[in-house]
């Protein structure tokens, strides 16, 4: 789901570069929220499109790997590292 410029930051303001955007989604049957900077959401959406996956499916895959490889890491941190390692 690409952003449309109408996304709201955590404080309800239009996001600026570096500001956090919070999205809620269902991952592995559970609702969760994830706060990332606009730049990471944009890159994550590009990666998902390139892989033909939905954003929740891609994030679930990242979460599964995080749980196995680095269970103490936060999901947001795992997503950021994934984006940096898989930047298109």
pLDDT one-digit tens code per residue, 14-64: 667 778 999 999 988 999 999 999 999 999 999 999 999 999 999 999 999
> What residue ranges do the domains of the chain occupy?
20-85
pLDDT higher at 7 or 47: 47
What dihedral do alpha carbons 73, 11, 4, 88 form, nearest 10°? -30
- Check if the beta carbon of residue 63 is closer than 8 Å to that of residue 31: no
Select the more confidently predicted residue: 5 or 37.
37
Q: Is the pLDDT of residue 1 over 50?
A: no
Task: Tell me how far apart the alpha carbons of residues 83 and 42 are, in angstroms, rounded to a whole number.
Answer: 10
Cα dihedral 5, 35, 2, 79, rounded to 10, equals: 140
Query: pLDDT tens digit string along 62-87?
Result: 999 999 999 999 999 999 999 999 98
């Amino acid at each position: 789901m690409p952003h449309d410029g109408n996304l709201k930051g955590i404080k309800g303001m239009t996001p600026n570069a570096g500001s956090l955007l919070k999205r809620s989604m269902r991952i592995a049957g559970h609702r969760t929220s994830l706060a990332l900077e606009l730049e990471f959401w944009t890159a994550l959406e590009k990666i998902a499109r390139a892989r033909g996956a939905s954003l929740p499916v891609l994030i679930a895959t990242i979460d599964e790997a995080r749980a196995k490889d680095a269970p103490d890491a936060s999901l947001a941190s795992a997503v950021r590292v994934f984006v940096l390692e898989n930047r298109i």
